[in-house]
Amino acid sequence: MRLDLGDAFAALIEWLENNFEPLLDAITIAIGATIEGLEQALLFLPSWVMILLFTLLAWWVASRGVAAFSLIGFTLLENVEFTLFGLDVAFGMGLWELTMQTLALIVTSTLLSLLIGIPIGIWAAKNDVVDTVTRPILDFMQTMPAFVYLIPAVVLFSLGEVPGVIATFIFATPPCVRLTNLGIRQVSEEAVEAAQSFGSTPRQLLFKVELPMALPTILAGINQTVLLALSMVVIAALIGAGGLGEPVVEGIQQLRIGIGFEGGLAIVILAIFLDRVTQAIGEKAGTTTQAATG
Amino acid sequence: MAIIEVEGLWKIFGGNPERARTLAKEGKSKAEVKAETDSVIAVNDANFGVREQEIFVVMGLSGSGKSTLLRCVNRLIEPTFGAVKVHGEEVTAFDEDRLRELRRTKMSMVFQNFGLFPHRTVMGNVEYGLEVAGMDRGQRREKAQQSLELVGLDGYGDSQTSELSGGMQQRVGLARALVNDPEILLMDEAFSALDPLIRADMQNELLELQEQWDPACTILFITHDLDEALKMGDRIAIMKDGGIAQIGTPTEILTEPADEYVRSFVENVDRTKIVPARTVMRDLRDDETVPADGPSVSPHTPIAELLPTLLDADGPLAVRDSDGPLRGVVSQEAVMKEVVENADGARRREARAGRTEEEPETAVA
């Protein structure tokens, strides 16, 4: 007798497909609607307004440097044409719409990661058994080559943005679970005892003491989740998720160096923006929380 | 009457607690029990009562189980065997709701490393207990403000706890514990992390506060510092290896140590620097008077410090609370007796030390 792991997994996916169709459809509709709505919202205002909003956001949470970077970076993503002293000037990569598509996909998959990752992280922090069980699963999710997720994702959710979000979600959730778990476990024993000794319920302990004190660590996890999600963009484009992965994939398939480079550069700009902004939010939360834990 | 009663309390971690207790009762040591059952005995059959409004100090070295014992009283740690009663009610049998009610209204705690919430302001820390109990914002702000004034932190409500010095952080810890007017205050090495000078200040202030309160808080105070225990305690329990070696007043502990362990602890104490006026104080006799505006000392003044004032005084020296009322008098005879006893103790110690030094010589001879 021969045990074939691959066949077993394929059978499992087929079984899921056959028996959970309504659920899978519901998930497809919910995720599809979210990403569609976000995309439309991001493209609703003219691009120059959005560029200004991103710049102001960067200024407000991060620094002037990040704001300047955002202004230049996002402008490069758009097409700019103007006339200077009778001279027609045009520059930019014309990737605005794809960038917003990618942003919508990242935000959707990150929200899904937080929605599922943070509660699991809390549970793992409270329960050693859950911690022990989730640990290898998270390792598996993170080390399995991301391409592999595409196959079952397509089987279960067909082509397009939804399987892209699902594959991204599986790949990007582990740091969110891990760092929520770690953050809560790191809250000082005395602070927890103090909260209990004044008669906190478990819920009050969690929401008034543990989560606020773990917040900087949790935000560091969210930062990693966002960046991992961004690293899935090109891979997700292979199954028609659209966005900035598209020009890259096109560049590969047609050996067009220019298009591939522009797509890659756009991803880098978006990555730096998201990284600096989410990091700055984490640091802000950290200055009020971590200063006194020593 | 005892407000807290601790009866046959055991805390045994891991292994086989039943068997560990049986072995310990047969007289096996902590290490032997650990080797045989893999259980660690943290508290070994503790029995004591804390009287209303007294400061009861549990003193022991690190690892003696004193902090575990304290946490068994408010059940931050669940005792393995035995009972804790408050006002005769068995706290160890309370369900979650009743336990929370007790912690919110009757009993609060101060921690060694303060246990403050760094994401909350000073005010946010102090009002925490009232907040979780569901008191509305205006009311709890007002109470928290009073509590801050009580510990001398008026005006610091909006500060971040990280901006404060250690001493001030522990004042926040104290204010937070006092905000719900608890009957019982549990203090876990509350002053051990502070600088010596600040520590002495805080000790004095706590003693004064406790006198001013009406009705006064009952304080269960944990320390590893004998000087602190003698200074703060109305009564002291000395712990060793999880068990209680002796319970008594500071004077009893000093003059009648129950065993060699306690004796070794107290024999190097300069009692005149520790024993406070109140322990040698007596009531004013009918044939005596003390001038209202004459010299006086506080009940907590150690004997060594009141000597100069006593020499200057004509007759007995008045002992007054900080706000004025006469508590009693200290006579020259009583103080002299204490000094002589202390000197006797010192001489005995020297004699013993001398003997051990001479021993090798005798062997040679």
| Mean pLDDT, range B300-327, rounded to an integer | 82
> Residue A133: CB partners within 8 Å, gap ≥ 6?
none
Mean confidence (pLDDT) of chain A: 87
The answer to whether the CB atoms of B115 and A193 lie below 8 A apart is: yes
Instruction: Kindly list the residues from chain B whose CB atom is less than 8 angstroms away from the CB atom of residue A293.
Output: 118
Residue B105's DSSP bridge partners are none
A188, A197, A288 member nearest B76 (Cβ): A197
The answer to whether the CB atoms of B133 and A199 lie below 8 A apart is: yes
| Mean pLDDT, range B9-26, rounded to an integer | 90
**Cβ pair B126, B148 in contact under 8 A:** yes
Torsion angle of C-alpha atoms B92, B96, B101, B107, degrees rounded to 10: 40
The structural domains of chain A, with segments of one domain joined by +, span 5-44+93-289
Instruction: Kindly list the residues from chain A whose CB atom is less than 8 angstroms away from the CB atom of residue B160.
Output: 288, 291-292
- pLDDT the model gives residue B356: 52
- Identify the structural domains of chain B with CATH numbers, from first to last: 54-75+95-106+182-269 (3.40.50.300), 270-365 (3.90.1280.20)
High-pLDDT (> 90) share of chain B, %: 42
The answer to whether the CB atoms of A289 and B118 lie below 8 A apart is: yes
| Distance in angstroms (rounded) separating the CA atoms of residues B233 and B228 | 8
High-pLDDT (> 70) share of chain B, %: 94
Residue B317: pLDDT above 70?
Answer: yes
Q: Which of A105-109, A242-246, B116-120, B349-353 has the lowest mean pLDDT?
A: B349-353
Residue B353: pLDDT above 80?
Answer: no
Question: Which of A153-167, A216-230, B260-274, B303-317 is modeled with the greatest confidence?
Answer: A216-230
The answer to whether the CB atoms of A194 and B186 lie below 8 A apart is: no
**Cβ pair B153, B168 in contact under 8 A:** yes
B104, B119, B180 member nearest A289 (Cβ): B119
Sign, CA dihedral B213-B246-B226-B272, equals positive
Distance from CA of A206 to the nearest CA of B (A): 12
Tell the burial category of A35 from Cβ atoms under 10 Å away from its Cβ (0-12, 13-18, 19+): buried
> Residue A84: CB partners within 8 Å, gap ≥ 6?
none
Instruction: Kindly list the residues from chain A whose CB atom is less than 8 angstroms away from the CB atom of residue B101.
Output: 199
HSE on the CB side for B95, CA within 13 Å? 1
- pLDDT the model gives residue B126: 94
> Residue A213: CB partners within 8 Å, gap ≥ 6?
A183, A187, A188, A191, A289, A293, B117, B118, B119
Distance from CA of B116 to the nearest CA of A (A): 6
Distance from CA of A172 to the nearest CA of B (A): 29
Residue in chain A nearest B163 by alpha carbon: A292
The answer to whether the CB atoms of B119 and A213 lie below 8 A apart is: yes
Write the pLDDT tens digit of every residue in B126-172. Answer: 999 999 999 999 999 999 999 999 888 888 989 999 899 888 999 99
What counts of helices (H) and strands (E) characterise chain B? 16, 13
**Cβ pair B141, B127 in contact under 8 A:** yes
| Distance in angstroms (rounded) separating the CA atoms of residues A23 and A105 | 21
The answer to whether the CB atoms of A198 and B132 lie below 8 A apart is: yes
Write the pLDDT tens digit of every residue in A172-183. Answer: 999 999 999 999
| Confidence band for B260, pLDDT divided at 50, 70 and 90 | confident
| Confidence band for A113, pLDDT divided at 50, 70 and 90 | very high
Write the pLDDT tens digit of every residue in A2-39. Answer: 778 888 888 888 888 888 888 888 888 898 899 889 98
| Confidence band for B362, pLDDT divided at 50, 70 and 90 | very low
- pLDDT the model gives residue A1: 65
**Cβ pair A265, A218 in contact under 8 A:** no
Class of domain A5-44+93-289: mainly alpha
> Residue B269: CB partners within 8 Å, gap ≥ 6?
B226, B227, B230, B254
Tell the burial category of B232 from Cβ atoms under 10 Å away from its Cβ (0-12, 13-18, 19+): buried
